[in-house]
Amino acid sequence: MNRFIPYGHQRIEEDDIQAVAEVLRSDWITTGPAVGAFEKSVAGFVGAEYGVAVSSGTAALHTAMYAIGVGHGDEVIVPSMTFAATANAVVFQGATPVFCDVDAETLLINPDVVEQKITSASKAIMAVDYAGQPCDYDALREIADRNKLVLIADACHSLGAAYKGRKVGTLADLTVFSFHPVKHITTGEGGMVVTDSPQYHRRMTMFRNHGISTDYRQRAEGGSWFYEMVDLGYNYRITDFQCALGMSQLKKLPGWIKRRQEIASRYDRAFNGLGPIEPLAVTSNVSHVYHLYVIKLRGIERDKVFNSLRAAGIGVNVHYIPVHLHPFYRERFGTREGMCPAAETVYEQILSLPMFPALTNEDVDTVISVVREAVS
Ligand SMILES: Cc1ncc(COP(=O)(O)O)c(C=O)c1O
């Protein structure tokens, strides 16, 4: 059997460890100078004015929902083909996620279906850049503006991607990133919301710190003990040493994206035109950053292929069970089969292959030959 190849894996190098050690030896290990520096660096990298770093991508989604004032009685349109956290963030605020079907070729939210889902209770559209490919933001922006909705990008898969030459981070009113270990860069756990809006920025910095209007460091440096909690918030703070890791990782992001794209091309060349395997479609006007490399299997049972690949040491995965089919959503919101037919059909066919920058060409060729064998 081959060495086990996971579907995703972080890359931590000596300089990353040094960067973290340096902060651990300093005075501030939480909400110190590295947090602000990391926020500035990520916002600068993606072309946004402000960044608010928090403890996870999920916390970042919740913080974005709070920023726009979503609450009871409101609806937010979300694609069904995503990780549960996208929809959960809507529920955290007491609002209702309205599940929208995706395009069967790209698995990105379908703007035509978005239109059909808009009601007088709609407050926002949440786009998910599935696998690392940006959605059709021109179409979504037009729909959002015409219906006075906020446009949010769940860009947990797409840090560094671009649409029509414009970077993810500049395409929506708020954009959310995750720094979980399988993502493009990691802080262990961590996330960030970027925006150009000073109002959203102010609300979010408060929300991640219990709804308190100043943080401890600001008070310590200002020589004051006084603080007020002005709204209900959470402890969603990220630590300084996590942000030091993030800063160190960010320097390597362009090279790592290039490597992900090379791996994707190698897979594409191997699988294009290969009977039962069909890589997901990529539109011509995007720079896809391949958080995931997803194939569709036709005329062959996905789970059979999944099992034989796992048995051969290839860490394939399935992203995702359509969120509206999870028991929680069925029971709480009455969602059911048939609501998002494209997502439901394609879910049965998809498989995510190993994709991370440290994969060697030899690893990729091993995956290709085992996949070919499994479908033959
Ligand atoms: C599309 C999407 N949104 C949100 C999240 C949540 O991010 P985190 O794991 O950092 O909380 C993930 C994580 O996998 C994701 O894939």
pLDDT tens for 198-247 read: 999 999 999 999 999 877 677 777 777 888 899 999 999 999 999 999 99
The answer to whether residues 86 and 61 touch, using CB atoms and an 8 Å cutoff, is yes
With a 6 A CB cut-off, is 96 part of the ligand 1 pocket? Answer: no
The stretches in the chain having pLDDT less than 50 are none
- Structure confidence at residue 2 (pLDDT): 62
Contact at 8 Å (CB) between 251 and 98? Answer: no
Residue nearest to atom 16 of ligand 1 (CA): 83
Give the angle 337-84-233 at the CA atoms, nearest 5°: 135
Does ligand 1 have an atom closer than 6 angstroms to the CB of 178? yes
Burial class (CB in 10 A: 0-12, 13-18, 19+), 299: exposed
> What would the pLDDT profile of 180-191 be if each residue is shown by its tens digit?
999 999 999 999
Pocket of ligand 1 contains residue 80 by CB under 6 Å: no
What pLDDT shows up at residue 10?
96
Distance 30 CA to ligand 1 centre (A): 22
**CA-based nearest residue to 136, from 280, 285, 293:** 285
258 belongs to the catalytic site: no
Of ligand 1's listed atoms, the one at least distance from the Cα of 190 is 10
CA of 17 to the centre of ligand 1 (A): 24
Q: Annotate the chain with three-state secondary structure.
A: CCCCECCCCCCCCHHHHHHHHHHHCCCCCECCHHHHHHHHHHHHHHCCCEEEEECCHHHHHHHHHHHCCCCCCCEEEEECCCCHHHHHHHHHCCCEEEEECECCCCCCECHHHHHHHCCCCEEEEEEECHHHCCCCHHHHHHHHHHCCCEEEEECCCCCCCEECCEECCCCCCEEEEECCCCCCCCCCCCEEEEECCHHHHHHHHHHCECCECCCHHHHHHHCCCCCCECCCCCECCCEHHHHHHHHHHHCCHHHHHHHHHHHHHHHHHHHCCCCCEEECCCCCCEECCCCCEEEEECCCCHHHHHHHHHHCCECCECCCCCHHHCHHHHHHHCCCCCCCHHHHHHHCCEEEECCCCCCCHHHHHHHHHHHHHHHC
* Residue from 178, 184, 187, 234 to probe ligand 1 pocket by mutation (most atoms less than 8 Å from CB): 178
- Can you give the pLDDT at residue 104? 97
Catalytic one among 183, 251, 252, 304? 183
Tell whether omega for the bond before 320 is within 30 degrees of 0, i.e. cis. Answer: yes
86 Cβ below 6 A of ligand 1? yes
Question: How far, in Å, is the centroid of ligand 1 from the Cα of 84?
Answer: 8
CB 218 within 8 A of CB 159: no
Q: How far is the CA of 277 from the centre of ligand 1 (A)?
A: 27
| Residue 147, pLDDT score | 98
Of ligand 1's listed atoms, the one at least distance from the Cα of 130 is: 1
Tell which residue, 186, 197, 231, 239, has the closest CA to residue 213: 231
Residue 85 Cβ inside 6 Å of ligand 1? The answer reads yes
Is the C-beta atom of 186 inside 6 A of ligand 1? no
Residues with Cβ within 8 Å of residue 258, at least 6 apart in sequence? none
Query: Is-contact 185 253, C-beta < 8 A?
Result: yes
Ligand 1 contact, 192 CB (< 6 A): no
The reported pTM is: 0.97
* CA 155 – ligand 1 centroid, Å: 9
Task: Judge if the beta carbon of residue 154 lies within 6 A of ligand 1.
Answer: yes
Ligand 1 pocket: which of 54, 56, 58, 192 to mutate (most atoms within 8 A of CB) = 58
Nearest-atom number in ligand 1 for the CA of 191 is 10
Per residue in 116-129, pLDDT (tens digit) is: 999 999 999 999 99
Q: Are 241 and 23 in contact (CB under 8 A)?
A: yes
Using a 6 Å cutoff on CB, does residue 354 contact ligand 1?
no
pLDDT in the model for residue 219: 72
Supply the pLDDT for residue 1: 53
